Amino acid sequence: MKRTGVFICHCGINIAGTVDVKKVAKELSNHTGVVHSEEYIYMCSDPGQNLIIEAIKENQLDSVVVACCSPTLHETTFRNTVKSAGINPFQCEIANIREQCSWVHKDMEKATEKAIKLTKSAVERVHRNESLDPISIPVTRRALVVGGGIAGIQSALDLANSGYEVILVERSPSIGGHMIQLSETFPTLDCSQCILTPKMVEVSKHPKIKLLTYSEIQDISGYVGNFKVKILKKPTYVDPDKCTLCDECTKVCPVVVPNEFDLGLTGRRAVYMPFPQAIPATYTLDIKSCPGLLPIACGKCADVCEPEAIDYDMKPEIVEEEVGAIIVATGFDLYDKELMAEYGHGKYADVLDGLQFERLCSASGPTTGKILRPSDHKEPKEVVFIQCVGSRDPELHCAYCSKICCMYTAKHAMLYKHHVPDGQAYIFYIDIRSGGKGYEEFVQRAVEEDGALYLRGKVSKIFEDKGKIKVWGVDTLSGKDIEIDADMVVLATAMRPSEGAEELAKKLKIALDKDGFLSEAHPKLRPVESVTPGMFLAGAAQAPKDIPEAVAQASGAAAKAIAILSQERLFHAPTVAKVNVNLCTGCGMCVHVCPYDSLSLKDGKAEVNEVLCEGCGTCSATCLRAAIEVKNLTPLQVNEMIGASLGG
């Protein structure tokens, strides 16, 4: 029988005000296996902790229960306390008699009774706890960054500049993400491309960064510190080393498809360079739109390519990499226009989304910086901007706020006015959210200096009529119906997790939130970590955010990754599953349910990879033979806790 000490914290009056701590101490002193029981005003204080240490030494305690606040707060504290007294930290358990008892009940007698049960339950558990040592694992000191937008670029550079090798994987032919499509950025209105391209070049030139564009994560295995990643490098059919960027190929290519970079406002050829500043600076043959490689149906590009850079035989390549940490920065996509039919997006040429408008404003865009209607290339004189398109609409679309639309719409109105000084910008809004350094001032500038007309209300109908886009709505402040004959409508559509993020999250075993964004481990305290150890989140993949936030989070994620990579070995919680091979029949049901692939069958018996196991215990509940259990929360322990919780 163990020699357990029980320590009951008053937490000032937080506990002692509702729970008769003296009675708890007395009751517990009579419990089988408890050799010491006392209460104290603040157990977590230095004197409180010393009291525990003294009692351990005096009574040769081998296990400790502290009845106090939630284990999320002081479990670590007290485990360290008992450790300093020479006891294994896993011989300390917390009974939460504050959040679960004193703070939610008023009747002292009843609360005391419950506190006794809670404490006895913890005693029963600790009686059967094993002494455990953290599991030590070596670290592969390289990182993987998925996504080559601003967040991915920032993370990669921070990691590389700290001296760690980085593999940066981008699915499209060039890095740059959505930021490279923007014309100017709020609130400073500096040129987006001008501030991003130096970083992109830095990435391409950085000796520590291995850039894999036109590549996707195919498979991932392993665990924190030791991930094995399989990356599918799609064939570009153009050898970048031979290509001289002469652009002859695009001239002969007979195929024209919508240009993704300009969001379909222009076309591109099947062989193309995404945009002039693309990194890597090379061409890509888009096999989906090419008339066909095998058998070669066209071959014109190869014919004109003098350096013979076009290689139709190029094959997909699987690159295998080992990394210690992973940063996921898969960014966002705009809400599908198909789903926004009520705004006429996709139906009327002059109804644009925010990104398309950015391209219209951009000097590198389809109109070389002139704002012209896609339909007739006329300068629009009246432009309606509509905010919250698809956002904040729990009934029909996304419940959340896409966060950046208020600001970029203000920016759009401003840019429009700068381009078309005699034009009028109308902005339909629900309310304006301009939290952020210089943001509110920026919106005010749009109103005051650039005369943007803010209309509080929703748009009820948009339709084309005689070359105009008619926008009907209501100004809820004045209560008046509004009808605008606009030349152009710009929709601030909702941000969605980028396409394929869900599939990737499944591969990475990162949880998604209800909107499909990647879930952080804790909304406040662990905002850049995923629930899977060693995987971190950056940028809009986690939630809608603007550039400075994305960059900040990217640096945060890099710092978190460095915290892993900077160590030679990592330590993993030892409360993992263990198999009783005598009972295991090798049915494999546990293997099937393990979310971390930590179980496998070996010689007809289940085997735990302790490093992968997170100790969730789903295997244990699945096993029909009680052949697998999680250390220190075994069925026996739970069963005894049930008994104690019911007062027997």
Partner 1 sequence: MAEEFEPKIVAFLCKWCSSAGSDLAGVSRMEYPYNVVPITVMCSGSISPLYILSAFSRGADGVLVSGCHPGDCHYIKGNFYARRRIALINKLLDFIGLEPQRFQMSWVSAAEGTKYTEIIKDFVKELKPLGPQTKLGRDL
Partner 2 sequence: MQKVLTKKSLPQWVKKLLSYTIYTPVEEDDHWNFVATDNPEDINLDYPLTTLSPKKIIFPQREIFLEFCDSTEGNPEVKEVLPAEKSAVIFGVRPCDAKALTFTDKVFGGDFKDIYYWKRRNQTTLVGISCNTPPYTNCFCVSVNGSPYSKEGLDILLTDLGDKYFVETYTKKGEKLLNLAKGLFKSPTAKDKKDLEKIRIDSKKKIKRQIKNIKKIPPKLKEMFDSPFWDEESMSCLRCGICTYLCPTCHCFDINDEITSSSPIKGKRIRTWDTCQFPDFTMHSSGHNPRPDKASRLRQRILHKFLYFVDRYQNYQCTGCGRCISLCPVGIDLLEVLDKVRDYGS
Partner 3 sequence: MVSLEDLKKEAKQILKENKVKYIIGYKKSTNGLMPVPAFIKEPEEVEKLVWDPTCVFNLTRYLVDEKRRKTKEKEPDERPVGLVVKGCDSRAINILLQEKFINREDVYLLGVSCENTGVLDEKKLTKKIKGEKVKKVEFDEKDNFIITTQEGKTKIPAKEILANRCLECKANFPVIYDVLLGEKAKRSIDNPFESIEKIESLSTEERWTFWKKQLDKCIRCYACRSVCPMCYCDECVADTISFAVTADTTAEEKAQKIKWVEKSPVSSENFIYHMVRAIHLAGRCIDCGECERACPLDIPLRFLNRKLEKEAKELFGFEAGFDPDQPSLISCFKDEDPEDFIR
Give the interface with partner 2 as residue ranges (CB under 8 A).
30-34, 120, 124, 640, 643-644, 648
- Binding status of residue 630 toward partner 1 by CB under 8 A: yes
Any bridge partners for residue 529, and if so which? 536
* Cβ contact 262:243 at 8 Å: no
In the list partner 1, partner 2, partner 3, none, the entry touching 519 (Cβ below 5 to 8 angstroms by class) is: partner 1
Write the CB contacts of 352 (distance below 8 Å, at least 6 apart in sequence).
Answer: 345, 360, 374, 488, 489, 490, 491
Candidates 305, 185, 194; CA nearest to 244 is 305
Given 251, 592, 595, 647, the residue binding partner 3 (CB under 8 A): 592
Residue 24 or 101 with smaller CB distance to partner 1: 101
CB of 232 to partner 1, least distance (A): 23
* Ramachandran area for residue 60 (φ above 0: left; ψ -120 to 50: alpha; else beta): left
The residue whose two tokens read 């002469």 is 246
Part in contact with partner 1 (CB under 8 A); list of ranges 198-206, 269-277, 466-474, 511-519: 511-519
Any bridge partners for residue 138, and if so which? 569
Write the CB contacts of 315 (distance below 8 Å, at least 6 apart in sequence).
Answer: 235
Residue 137 or 587 with smaller CB distance to partner 3: 587
- Binding status of residue 103 toward partner 1 by CB under 8 A: yes
Kindly state the helix (H) or strand (E) to which residue 50 belongs, with its residue range. Answer: helix 46-59
CA distance 499 to 488: 28
Surface-to-core class of residue 357, CB atoms within 10 Å of its CB (0-12 exposed, 13-18 middle, 19+ buried): buried
Axis crossing angle, helix 635-645 with helix 108-127, rounded to the nearest 10: 160
Given 13, 104, 245, 341, the residue binding partner 1 (CB under 8 A): 104
* Cβ contact 146:330 at 8 Å: yes
Write the CB contacts of 360 (distance below 8 Å, at least 6 apart in sequence).
Answer: 265, 352, 366, 367, 370, 371, 372
Given 246, 287, 298, 589, the residue binding partner 3 (CB under 8 A): 589
- Binding status of residue 299 toward partner 3 by CB under 8 A: no
Part in contact with partner 1 (CB under 8 A); list of ranges 242-250, 461-469, 475-483, 608-616: 608-616
- Binding status of residue 447 toward partner 1 by CB under 8 A: no
CB of 30 to partner 2, least distance (A): 5
Given 83, 105, 445, 456, the residue binding partner 1 (CB under 8 A): 105
Instruction: Give SS3 for 155.
Output: helix
Given 30, 106, 207, 295, the residue binding partner 1 (CB under 8 A): 106
- Binding status of residue 114 toward partner 1 by CB under 8 A: yes
In the list partner 2, partner 3, partner 1, none, the entry touching 633 (Cβ below 5 to 8 angstroms by class) is: partner 1
CB of 626 to partner 1, least distance (A): 8
Kindly state the helix (H) or strand (E) to which residue 238 belongs, with its residue range. Answer: none
Axis crossing angle, helix 547-565 with helix 150-161, rounded to the nearest 10: 40
In the list partner 2, partner 3, partner 1, none, the entry touching 70 (Cβ below 5 to 8 angstroms by class) is: partner 1
CA distance 340 to 351: 11
Taking the CA atoms of residue 337, residue 339, residue 343 and residue 348 in that order, the dihedral angle to the nearest 10 degrees is: 50
Part in contact with partner 3 (CB under 8 A); list of ranges 171-179, 341-349, 564-572, 635-643: 635-643
- Binding status of residue 624 toward partner 3 by CB under 8 A: yes
First-to-last alpha carbon distance for the chain, in angstroms, is 18
The residue whose two tokens read 């997006």 is 345
CB of 144 to partner 1, least distance (A): 20
Binding residues for partner 3, total number by CB under 8 A: 21
Residue 31 or 631 with smaller CB distance to partner 2: 31
Instruction: Give SS3 for 531.
Output: coil
In the list partner 3, partner 1, partner 2, none, the entry touching 31 (Cβ below 5 to 8 angstroms by class) is: partner 2
CB of 621 to partner 3, least distance (A): 9
Site residues (CB under 8 A) for partner 1? 70-72, 96, 98-101, 103-107, 110-111, 113-114, 117-118, 121, 509, 511-514, 519, 531, 593, 595-596, 614-618, 620-622, 630, 633, 635, 638-639, 641-643, 645-648
